[in-house]
Structure 1
Amino acid sequence: MVDLPLADLAWIGFAVFLGGALRGFTGFGFAIAATPLLSLVLAPAQAVAMVLLLGLCIGLTDLRAALTRSHGASVAPLAVGMAAATPLGIMALALLSAAHARLAIALVLVVATAILISGFRFRRLPGRVPAAGLGALSGLFNGLAAMPGPPVIAYCLALPLPVADIRATMMLYFLGTSTVGLATALASRLVGPAEVLGAAIAFPALFVGARTGALAFRHASERAYRLVSLLALTGLTLVVAARSLVDLLG
């Protein structure tokens, strides 16, 4: 990391700041924004390892605030469903290529995003069984393509809760996914001294970005929050769809 050109280090700082600002505002999106940008100057595995380390660090920084406002009755079944179904997604990779898996995820995202854009909201809080089912879908996505977030983002945005509670719920959930992902990366020896050093160097940019996003959230209307969140989800949908098509056609 210390041997990288100054321009590359500046780009890493920008990518981490941008991802942190998006997460600070919406409660999600750090990995969505930071990983592809970091991959422009770092090896993909190194970028992912740094994002996992940084995601855990910022999640722990915000843990107290997330616990205060999060909807625990939704987080618990989501997490249980995700943990239970992730091995099934991994096994399904034997039957479905990564490109086809991403295409399936993109199609699900298109439907979910269209439903949210139409203004759909749950009239009352879903029970534990539907939440666990969404968590299981998240786990399948995690096993198939290391993407546990999209179903949970769409689900949380449809909950009949104040946006501060929705944001905190996603922060708490993604702290859990970062923890599981980092444990897997450590077991696979994808995290070494270089990645830890890189995360340490980049953390101030992440912290400033997250605080900037949080400040913007405190001054934003519910309509603005939902608009930015839907734009981020739409951007994720387009990226996943484009990558799957490139892989399939290539």
Structure 2
Amino acid sequence: MEIVGFLLIIFVATLLQTITGFGFSILATPLLLFLISPADAIQVNLILSFVLSLSVWRTLKREMNRDMLKRLIIGSLPGLPIGIVLFLVVNLVVFKLIIGFVLLFVTIFVLSPVTLHPSTKRDVGVGALAGAFTTSIGMPGPPILAYVTGAKMPKEQLRATTLAFYLFIYLVSFVMQAVVSGVHLSVWNHSLLALPVLFLGVVTGQKIFKRIPATVFNRVMYSLLIVTAGMLIFDALSEF
């Protein structure tokens, strides 16, 4: 039953990522916490997110904003070691609370009318937050998602730029975690088990994308995020 739940989470998260351009790590990581250990959940997410980003890179790389990408990467560099420290010291209960409140805040922010216009300082700042989020909880998505929803630039360019950033941040974060805390065999087993479902989700998502508006799936994703955040917060508070 645990395997079925694991594969279902990977499929749905991949589907949402393929259709909307966001959603895999934001949805997969918190849900995986209910099935596997935090360390395994984060590292499995980093591996699968990197593979997923790489699988669609060819079709988007020409659209990216190289200047914005450089600023995001530069900003992420000081954030990466900060995230590693948090990864090593935060316990499971606090970990769930952090992710729960982050998801809740980001979802509310995205649904609000607030807009953020891209600038050099904001690119670097968001990159720093994304770096810390990735090495600590395996999710660069929350600060990036909150930022780009109000960005005044072509959506194709935004998607390609953030995707290129994900390729960098996921790979570097995984290497850093592997060096600092190692990688359990269970992480590789779960990742290999998920790969066929991951590619099935990509193919299915590309077909569905042509038939159903992405706005429908955005609403589904936001609903899932709110429910997931509530479940994590309630579960963590019940353990105090």
- 1:43 & 1:105 partners in 2: Cα distance? 14
- 2:141 & 2:167 partners in 1: Cα distance? 11
CA contact (8 A) 2:71 2:124 kept: yes
CA contact (8 A) 1:22 1:29 kept: yes
Alignment match, 1:203: 195
Alignment match, 1:169: 161
CA contact (8 A) 1:100 1:244 kept: yes
Q: How far off its partner does 1:130 sit? A: 1.5
Alignment match, 2:10: 16
Q: TM-score, normalised by structure 2?
A: 0.76
User: Amino acid of the residue matched to residue 3 of structure 2?
Assistant: L
Q: Note the aligned Cα RMSD (angstroms).
A: 3.6
Alignment match, 2:126: 134
SS of residue in 2 equivalent to 1:120: coil
Q: How far off its partner does 1:99 sit? A: 6.4
Q: Which moved more, 1:213-222 or 1:102-111?
A: 102-111
- Aligned pairs (5 A) from 1:232-247: 234=226, 238=230, 241-242=233-234, 245-246=237-238
2:183 corresponds to 1:190: yes
Q: How far off its partner does 1:23 sit? A: 1.3
Alignment match, 2:54: 60
Instruction: Tell me: CA distance 1:215–1:120, structure 2 relative to 1, closer, same or farther (3 Å).
Output: farther
Alignment match, 2:144: 152
1:78-118 deviation per Cα after TM superposition (whole angstroms, max 9, x unaligned): 22212222334556799998867876776666555444323
Q: How far off its partner does 1:173 sit? A: 2.5
Aligned residues: 239
For structure 2, the residue ranges without an aligned partner over 5 or more in a row are none
Q: Which moved more, 1:221-230 or 1:17-26?
A: 221-230
Q: How far off its partner does 1:151 sit? A: 1.0
CA contact (8 A) 2:31 2:228 kept: no
User: Amino acid of the residue matched to residue 48 of structure 2?
Assistant: L
Q: TM-score, normalised by structure 1?
A: 0.74
- Aligned pairs (5 A) from 1:103-114: 112-114=106-108
- The structure 1 residue matched to 2:112, chosen from 99, 114, 118, is 118
CA contact (8 A) 1:20 1:209 kept: yes
Q: How far off its partner does 1:24 sit? A: 1.0
CA contact (8 A) 1:163 1:222 kept: no
SS of residue in 1 equivalent to 2:209: helix
The structure having more radius of gyration, on CA atoms, is 1
CA contact (8 A) 2:110 2:145 kept: no
Instruction: Tell me: CA distance 1:198–1:116, structure 2 relative to 1, closer, same or farther (3 Å).
Output: closer
- The structure 1 residue matched to 2:72, chosen from 72, 78, 82, is 78
Q: How far off its partner does 1:186 sit? A: 2.4
CA contact (8 A) 2:25 2:139 kept: no
For structure 1, the residue ranges without an aligned partner over 5 or more in a row are 1-6
Q: Which moved more, 1:47-56 or 1:205-214?
A: 47-56
